Amino acid sequence: AQRVTQPEKLLSVFKGAPVELKCNYSYSGSPELFWYVQYSRQRLQLLLRHISRESIKGFTADLNKGETSFHLKKPFAQEEDSAMYYCALRRGQAGTALIFGKGTTLSVSS
């Protein structure tokens, strides 16, 4: 069965520190992986998708098929990065459902 695991419920860092939000998945095929973010009182929004291989707001994520991981990284955290982050998987077929992890709350303090 497909599954997304985010092992940390809460990650607290100081401003300027590096951030790594962990995501592991189980899926035997070729998945598409995403990171979604939800800022306080805002709706869920797409942050990154692995096929784009881009950096958004300083965040990057690399798909590691050998380790079945898709960790989200940022070298220097900012207070405005504080939010709930969800890793999600979509099976490699167009239009199929997203499977979400339970999410990690990132708290960045000064």
Partner 1 sequence: DAGVTQSPTHLIKTRGQQVTLRCSPKSGHDTVSWYQQALGQGPQFIFQYYEEEERQRGNFPDRFSGHQFPNYSSELNVNALLLGDSALYLCASSLRRGGRYEQYFGPGTRLTVT
Residue 29 interacts with partner 1 (CB under 8 A)? no
Q: Give residue 29's identity as a one-letter amino acid code.
A: G
How are beta strands 45-49 and 32-38 bridged, if at all? Answer: antiparallel
- CA 110 from centroid of its chain's CA atoms: 23
The torsion region of residue 57 among left (phi > 0), alpha (psi -120 to 50) and beta comes to left
CB of 103: closest distance to partner 1 in angstroms?
A: 5
Q: Is 86 in the site for partner 1 (CB under 8 A)?
A: yes
Residue closer to partner 1 by CB (options 31, 101) is: 101
Asked if 40 touches partner 1 (CB under 8 A), the answer is: no
User: What are the residues binding partner 1 (CB under 8 A)?
Assistant: 4, 43-46, 49, 86, 88, 90, 94-103
